[in-house]
C-alpha cells in the first residue's frame, strides 16, 4: 500500500469512527467518554469480522472437514480488542488514527473488562488453543458457560486477600452475539420410565425441571487469515421468566423464585484451581453445558447430513478438557439412543470414536467424584446410562482379567458409592492424554496405570503450548519489532523460526537492543508497581517473578522463606555482594483455602518488613501485585528476568506460565517438573537453572517414607532462624504464622519445602552470579527466546490434529 492509499484508508477510518461514536452515544466525538469510544471501536471490529464469520460458518456447515469442539468449564480468554485488531492487521492504523484524532489509544483498550471465565492454566490453555486453531485455519470451537460473575477480583487489604465479585458484564460485552433461536432445554430431576413404542424399548423422562440454555457466541478470529471460529458460551434462563398463575394468586416472591433458581446455574464460576468442590450446583453446571453443547452439535450435523447421524464421528471430535465435561459420554449415548433411536452398540461405537480426553492434574484432591445419590437424583437417565457403561466395562474386564476381582473393582467407574469422572472419561474416549511428557508418564505408570493396562493404545502425550500472538507479539511489541527487524517475519507464522535468533547470540548491536527492550518492559512494570503498590523499585535489579495461583504444591512458600533468609543475610552483612533483587509475586488463592491465604499474608508481611528497611540499601524489594489476571500477566511476563517454577516435582502437570516467561526471555529457575523438563531440553542446561528433588524421589518418599523435616530443621541454622521468625513477631506485632510453621515441622512438610530449601538457595546464588555477568545473562536470555518455538500452541494444536483427532 502506498502512502496516499494509506491516507485514504485512514481518512475513511476516522470518518466511520466519528459516525459510530454518534450512533453509540448520541454525542459527538469531543464529548464521548472513553467507554463510548471503546464501544464504538468494538462495534467497528465486529462489523469487519462478522461477514468472515458467516462465511466460515457456511463452509463448516457443509460438513466437509472434521470439526473439533473443546468442551471446557473454563475459557480464560482475556481482553479481545487488541487481538482482533492485530489479527485483522489494522492495529497500527487504528493506533495511528487514534493519536491523530487526539485520543488515548491505550486508555480506550483499557475500558474492556477482562473476562475472568477461568481460574488459571486450564482455562487459559483453552483460550490459547482457540487462538491457535483459528490462526491455523482449523475448524475448532469452544463450548462452555457464560458465567455472569467470573473469578473474583482480588484486593489486598491489610496484607490479606479480600474477594470482590467480578461483574464483568456490567457495561455489556460487545464481542458476543446472543442466539436465542439456538436455545436448548436441559432437563434435571424427575423420573424415568420405559415404554414400548412401536416395538422399541424407549425411555421417557417425566416430571423434570426444565432450564433454558441460551447460547452467546464470541468470534475467534484467526491471525491475518479468513477463519473465524466460535466460542459458544451458554447462559441459563428459566423457560418462563415469570410464573403468571403464581403471580396472579398474589405469591409475588414465588413467582420470581424460579427465575433466580434457573439463572443460578450460570451465575458464578467456582473459584477452585486444582481442587474439587462437590456442590450440587457445580454438577448442574457440568451437565448444563454438556447437554446444550451436544444437542446443538447433533442438530447442526444432521441438518447438513440429510437428517442422518451417519458418519458423525468422522466429522465431529468432542474434546473433553479435564473431567468437568466427562458427562459428554453418557449424554451423547442418551441422545443417540433416546432421541436418534440407535441401539447401544452403534451408539457406543460413535461415542468412543467422537470423544477424546485431556487430563490436567494428578492431585488426588482435584480428581472429581460425585455421590451416586446426587447424580441419580439430579440426572436420572444419565445415571442409568453410566451404570450400563460401567456394567459392560466390568464384563469386559472380567473376560480379560478373570478372577482379578480387586483390580477390576478398582477400575470400576462407580465405586464406593461415587461416580468417578476421570474413569468415566477414560472409558468413553478413544484417547487420553497428559499435558507434558512427565505428566503423561505419571498418568500411565501411576494415576491411571490400571486403565493403561487395559487400553495401552489409548494413551498419548501432548505438551501444552501458549499463543505467541498474545504472549509475545501483542504483549511485547518492542521485542516483536526487534525480532522481525533481525530475522524477517516468517516467525510470526511459524515460531520455530525464532531459532534464527541464535545467529545473533554474539552480536553486540543486537545484544544492546535486546537489553534495551527488556529494560523498557521492566520500567513499565516498575511504574505499575509504583502506582499500584506505592513501592519504588530499581528497574536494573533482577526482576525475579512468581505469578500463578497460590497453592501449596506450587510452593510460593519456598520462595518467601528464601527471601526472608536473604534478608537475614543482608542484615548480618550489609555489604553482601549481590545484584539488587526485586521479588515479585501475584496470584489468587481460592477463597476457602486457608493455608494459601496465609501464604499471601506471609508474603505481604515480608514485603512490609523488607521494603521499609533502609539498611538494605534497596538491594532487596518484595512486591505482591493484586488481582493477577490475563491483562496483568501481559505486563508481567515481558519484564521478567527470572521465572520461578518451583513446584514439588511430579505435582505440576505442565505449567504454561513457564512457557510465557521463556518466550519473553526470562531464565527459568525451576524444579524438574511438568514442562520445565522440556524447557531444559529445548534451551540446554546452560540456559536454565534447575534444582531439587526429582519426581521419582518425591514419589519414593511418599510411598515408603524416610523424610523427616525435623532432621533438616535441626541441621540447618538458616532454616531454624527463618522458621522462628514466622512465629516470633519479626513479621509484625502480633502476627504469627503458626499454621505454616506447623505444616513444615509438626506435619512433616508434605510438599518438601525444607528438603529442597538448601538446593534452592544454592540455585538462587547461581542466578545472582550469572546475572552479574551481563554478557552471559543476555546470551542466556536470547537463547530462551530463540528456543521457545516448541512451546507455541500452534505446535500443540498440530500435535492434537495429527495424533488425537486424526485430521490430516
Q: CB under 6 A: which stretch of 52-60, 402-410, 449-457, 649-657 binds ligand NBG?
A: 649-657
Is 646 an interacting residue with respect to ligand NBG (CB under 6 A)? no
* Grid coordinates belonging to 145: 458457560
Identify which of residues 118 and 219 has a Cβ nearer to ligand NBG in the complex: 118
Identify which of residues 112 and 652 has a Cβ nearer to ligand NBG in the complex: 652
Instruction: Find the angle CA(47)-CA(227)-CA(430) to the nearest 5 degrees.
Output: 135
Radius of gyration of the chain (CA): 27
242 exposed, middle or buried (CB, 10 Å; 0-12, 13-18, 19+)? exposed
Residues 284, 195: Cα–Cα separation, whole Å: 27
Identify which of residues 344 and 553 has a Cβ nearer to ligand NBG in the complex: 553
* Grid coordinates belonging to 327: 458427562
Near ligand NBG by CB under 6 A: residue from 322, 331, 492, 678: 322
Q: Which of 430, 548, 581, 601 is catalytic?
A: 548
Identify which of residues 338 and 681 has a Cβ nearer to ligand NBG in the complex: 681
Minimum CB separation from ligand NBG for residue 191, in Å?
35
Q: CB under 6 A: which stretch of 135-143, 397-405, 441-449, 646-654 binds ligand NBG?
A: 646-654
Q: Which of 296, 360, 420, 601 is catalytic?
A: 360
Q: Is the separation of the CB atoms in 228 and 199 below 8 Å?
A: no
Residues 103, 333: Cα–Cα separation, whole Å: 55
Question: By Cβ distance, which residue is nearest to ligand NBG?
Answer: 121
Minimum CB separation from ligand NBG for residue 290, in Å?
18
**Active site includes 62?**
no
Minimum CB separation from ligand NBG for residue 647, in Å?
8
Residue 583 region by backbone torsions, left for phi larger than 0, else alpha for psi between -120 and 50, else beta? beta
Residues 608, 616: Cα–Cα separation, whole Å: 13
Minimum CB separation from ligand NBG for residue 360, in Å?
3
28 exposed, middle or buried (CB, 10 Å; 0-12, 13-18, 19+)? exposed
Please say whether the dihedral angle defined by the alpha carbons of residues 125, 126, 131 and 134, taken in this order, is positive or negative: positive
Mask 413-452, x = binds ligand NBG (CB under 6 A)?
----------------------x-----------------
Largest CA distance in the chain: 91
41 exposed, middle or buried (CB, 10 Å; 0-12, 13-18, 19+)? buried
Identify which of residues 121 and 638 has a Cβ nearer to ligand NBG in the complex: 121
CA nearest 591: which of 262, 267, 188, 273?
273
Is 331 an interacting residue with respect to ligand NBG (CB under 6 A)? no
Residues 719, 693: Cα–Cα separation, whole Å: 18
Minimum CB separation from ligand NBG for residue 323, in Å?
9
Minimum CB separation from ligand NBG for residue 369, in Å?
15
CA nearest 422: which of 345, 353, 366, 352?
366
Identify which of residues 232 and 660 has a Cβ nearer to ligand NBG in the complex: 660
Instruction: Find the angle CA(85)-CA(91)-CA(93) to the nearest 5 degrees.
Output: 130
Minimum CB separation from ligand NBG for residue 556, in Å?
14
Is 464 an interacting residue with respect to ligand NBG (CB under 6 A)? yes
Q: Which of 319, 381, 444, 554 is catalytic?
A: 554
Mask 253-292, x = binds ligand NBG (CB under 6 A)?
--------------------xx------------------
Mask 94-123, x = binds ligand NBG (CB under 6 A)?
--------------------------xxx-
Binding to ligand NBG, residues 341-380 (CB under 6 A): 360-361, 366
* Grid coordinates belonging to 676: 520445565
Identify which of residues 334 and 360 has a Cβ nearer to ligand NBG in the complex: 360
* Grid coordinates belonging to 156: 489486598
Binding to ligand NBG, residues 120-179 (CB under 6 A): 120-122, 125
Q: Strands 581-586, 542-547: parallel, antiparallel or unpaired by DSSP?
A: parallel
Is 674 an interacting residue with respect to ligand NBG (CB under 6 A)? yes
Binding to ligand NBG, residues 382-401 (CB under 6 A): none
Identify which of residues 360 and 369 has a Cβ nearer to ligand NBG in the complex: 360
Instruction: List Cβ neighbours of 86 (8 Å cut-off, separation of 6 or more).
Output: 223, 469, 473, 474
Identify which of residues 122 and 607 has a Cβ nearer to ligand NBG in the complex: 122
Minimum CB separation from ligand NBG for residue 629, in Å?
16
Residues 758, 659: Cα–Cα separation, whole Å: 26
Minimum CB separation from ligand NBG for residue 248, in Å?
48
**Active site includes 548?**
yes
Identify which of residues 462 and 501 has a Cβ nearer to ligand NBG in the complex: 462
Helix/strand/coil for 37: helix
CA nearest 676: which of 697, 694, 701?
694
Instruction: Find the angle CA(577)-CA(581)-CA(587) to the nearest 5 degrees.
Output: 155
Q: What is the DSSP string of 710-752?
A: HHHHHH-HHHHHHHHHHHSSTTSTT---HHHHHHHHTT--TT-
Identify which of residues 379 and 653 has a Cβ nearer to ligand NBG in the complex: 653
Minimum CB separation from ligand NBG for residue 660, in Å?
11
* Grid coordinates belonging to 201: 424399548
Residues 224, 134: Cα–Cα separation, whole Å: 10
Q: Which of 324, 513, 619, 660 is catalytic?
A: 660
Is 653 an interacting residue with respect to ligand NBG (CB under 6 A)? yes
CA nearest 318: which of 61, 64, 69?
69
Q: Which of 656, 668, 671, 778 is catalytic?
A: 656
Helix/strand/coil for 690: strand
H, E, C per residue of 250-311: CCHHHHHHHHHHHHHHHCECCCCCCCCCCCHHHHHHHHHHHHHHHHHHHHHHHHCCCCCCCC
Q: Is the separation of the CB atoms in 632 and 588 below 8 Å?
A: no
Number of residues engaging ligand NBG in binding (CB under 6 A): 18
Minimum CB separation from ligand NBG for residue 187, in Å?
29
Near ligand NBG by CB under 6 A: residue from 634, 652, 749, 794: 652
**Active site includes 360?**
yes
Q: What are phi and psi of 748, to 5 degrees?
A: 60, 30
CA nearest 464: which of 677, 667, 655, 684?
655
Residues 462, 366: Cα–Cα separation, whole Å: 21
Minimum CB separation from ligand NBG for residue 423, in Å?
17
Q: CB under 6 A: which stretch of 62-70, 218-226, 650-658, 761-769 binds ligand NBG?
A: 650-658
Expressed in angstroms, the distance from the first to the final Cα of the chain is 36
Identify which of residues 361 and 725 has a Cβ nearer to ligand NBG in the complex: 361
Minimum CB separation from ligand NBG for residue 112, in Å?
24
Identify which of residues 658 and 787 has a Cβ nearer to ligand NBG in the complex: 658
Binding site for ligand NBG (CB under 6 A): 120-122, 125, 273-274, 322, 360-361, 366, 435, 464, 652-656, 674
Annotated catalytic sites, by residue? Answer: 360, 548-549, 554, 656, 660
Amino acid at each position: 500500500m502506498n502512502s496516499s492509499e494509506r491516507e485514504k484508508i485512514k481518512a475513511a477510518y476516522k470518518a466511520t469512527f466519528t459516525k459510530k461514536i454518534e450512533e453509540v452515544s448520541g454525542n459527538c466525538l469531543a464529548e464521548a467518554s472513553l467507554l463510548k469510544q471503546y464501544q464504538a471501536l468494538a462495534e467497528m471490529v465486529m462489523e469487519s469480522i462478522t461477514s468472515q464469520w458467516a462465511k466460515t460458518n457456511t463452509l463448516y456447515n457443509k460438513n466437509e472437514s472434521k470439526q473439533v469442539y473443546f468442551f471446557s468449564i473454563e475459557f480464560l480468554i482475556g481482553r479481545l480488542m487488541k487481538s482482533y485488531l492485530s489479527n485483522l492487521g489494522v492495529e497500527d492504523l487504528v493506533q495511528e488514527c487514534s493519536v491523530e484524532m487526539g485520543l488515548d489509544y491505550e486508555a480506550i483498550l483499557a475500558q474492556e473488562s477482562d473476562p475472568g471465565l477461568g481460574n488459571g492454566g486450564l482455562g487459559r490453555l483453552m483460550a490459547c488453543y482457540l487462538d491457535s486453531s483459528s490462526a491455523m485455519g482449523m475448524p475448532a470451537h469452544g463450548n462452555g458457560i457464560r458465567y455472569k460473575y467470573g473469578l473474583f477480583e482480588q484486593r489486598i487489604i491489610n496484607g490479606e486477600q479480600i474477594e470482590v465479585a467480578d461483574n464483568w458484564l456490567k457495561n455489556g460485552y460487545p464481542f458476543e452475539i446472543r442466539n436465542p433461536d439456538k436455545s436448548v432445554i436441559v432437563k434435571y430431576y424427575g423420573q424415568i420410565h420405559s415404554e414400548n413404542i412401536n416395538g422399541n424399548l424407549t425411555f421417557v423422562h417425566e416430571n423434570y425441571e426444565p432450564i433454558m440454555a441460551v447460547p452467546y457466541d464470541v468470534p475467534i478470529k484467526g491471525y491475518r487469515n479468513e477463519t473465524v471460529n466460535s466460542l459458544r458460551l451458554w447462559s441459563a434462563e428459566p423457560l418462563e421468566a415469570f410464573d403468571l398463575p403464581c403471580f396472579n394468586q398474589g405469591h409475588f416472591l414465588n413467582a420470581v423464585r424460579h427465575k433466580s433458581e434457573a439463572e443460578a446455574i450460570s451465575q458464578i464460576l467456582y473459584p477452585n484451581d486444582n481442587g474439587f468442590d462437590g456442590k450440587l450446583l457445580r454438577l448442574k453446571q457440568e451437565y448444563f453445558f454438556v447437554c446444550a453443547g451436544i444437542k446443538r452439535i447433533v442438530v447442526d450435523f444432521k441438518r447438513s447430513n440429510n437428517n442422518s447421524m451417519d458418519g458423525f464421528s468422522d466429522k465431529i471430535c468432542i474434546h473433553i478438557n479435564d473431567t468437568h465435561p466427562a458427562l459428554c459420554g453418557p449424554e451423547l449415548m442418551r441422545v443417540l439412543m433416546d432421541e436418534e433411536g440407535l441401539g447401544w452398540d452403534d451408539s457406543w461405537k460413535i461415542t468412543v470414536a467422537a470423544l477424546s480426553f485431556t487430563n490436567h492434574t494428578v492431585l488426588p484432591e482435584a480428581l472429581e467424584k460425585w455421590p451416586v445419590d446426587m447424580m441419580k437424583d439430579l440426572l436420572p437417565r444419565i445415571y442409568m446410562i453410566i451404570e450400563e457403561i460401567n456394567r459392560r466395562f466390568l464384563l469386559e474386564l472380567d473376560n480379560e482379567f478373570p478372577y482379578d476381582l480387586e483390580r477390576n473393582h478398582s477400575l470400576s467407574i462407580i465405586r464406593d458409592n461415587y461416580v468417578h469422572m476421570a474413569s468415566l472419561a477414560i472409558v468413553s474416549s478413544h484417547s487420553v492424554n497428559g499435558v507434558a511428557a512427565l505428566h503423561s508418564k505419571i498418568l500411565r505408570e501411576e494415576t491411571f496405570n490400571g486403565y493403561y493396562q487395559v487400553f495401552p493404545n489409548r494413551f498419548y502425550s501432548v505438551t501444552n503450548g501458549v499463543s505467541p500472538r498474545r504472549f509475545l507479539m501483542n504483549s511485547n511489541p518492542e521485542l516483536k519489532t526487534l525480532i522481525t527487524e533481525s530475522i524477517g517475519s516468517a516467525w510470526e507464522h511459524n515460531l520455530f523460526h525464532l531459532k534464527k535468533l541464535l545467529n545473533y547470540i554474539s552480536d553486540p548491536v543486537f545484544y544492546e537492543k535486546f537489553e534495551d527492550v527488556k529494560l523498557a518492559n521492566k520500567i513499565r512494570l516498575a511504574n505499575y508497581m509504583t502506582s499500584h503498590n506505592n513501592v519504588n523499585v530499581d528497574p536494573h535489579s533482577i526482576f525475579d517473578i512468581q505469578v500463578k495461583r497460590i497453592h501449596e504444591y506450587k510452593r510460593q512458600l519456598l520462595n518467601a522463606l528464601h527471601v526472608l533468609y536473604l534478608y537475614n543475610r543482608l542484615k548480618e552483612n550489609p555489604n553482601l555482594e549481590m545484584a539488587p533483587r526485586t521479588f515479585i509475586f501475584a496470584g489468587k488463592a481460592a477463597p476457602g483455602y486457608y493455608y494459601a491465604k496465609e501464604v499471601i499474608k506471609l508474603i505481604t508481611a515480608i514485603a512490609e518488613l523488607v521494603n521499609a528497611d533502609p539498611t538494605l540499601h534497596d538491594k532487596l524489594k518484595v512486591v505482591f501485585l493484586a488481582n493477577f489476571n490475563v491483562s496483568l500477566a501481559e505486563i508481567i511476563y515481558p519484564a521478567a528476568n527470572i521465572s520461578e517454577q518451583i513446584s514439588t516435582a511430579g505435582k505440576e502437570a505442565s505449567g504454561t506460565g513457564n512457557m510465557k516467561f521463556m518466550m519473553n526471555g526470562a531464565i527459568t529457575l525451576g524444579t524438574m517438573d511438568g514442562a520445565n523438563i522440556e524447557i531444559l531440553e529445548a534451551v540446554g542446561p546452560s540456559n536454565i537453572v534447575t534444582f531439587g528433588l526429582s519426581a521419582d524421589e518425591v514419589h519414593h518418599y511418599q510411598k515408603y517414607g524416610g523424610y523427616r523435616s525435623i532432621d533438616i530443621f535441626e541441621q540447618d541454622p538458616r532454616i531454624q532462624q527463618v522458621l522462628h521468625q514466622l512465629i516470633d513477631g519479626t513479621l509484625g506485632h502480633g502476627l504469627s504464622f503458626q499454621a505454616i510453621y506447623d505444616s513444615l515441622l509438626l506435619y512433616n512438610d508434605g510438599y518438601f519445602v525444607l528438603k529442597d530449601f538448601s538446593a534452592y538457595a544454592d540455585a538462587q546464588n547461581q542466578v545472582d552470579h550469572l546475572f552479574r555477568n551481563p554478557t552471559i545473562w543476555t546470551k542466556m536470555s536470547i537463547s530462551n527466546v530463540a528456543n521457545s518455538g516448541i512451546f507455541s500452541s500452534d505446535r500443540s494444536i498440530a500435535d492434537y490434529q495429527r495424533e488425537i483427532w486424526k485430521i490430516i
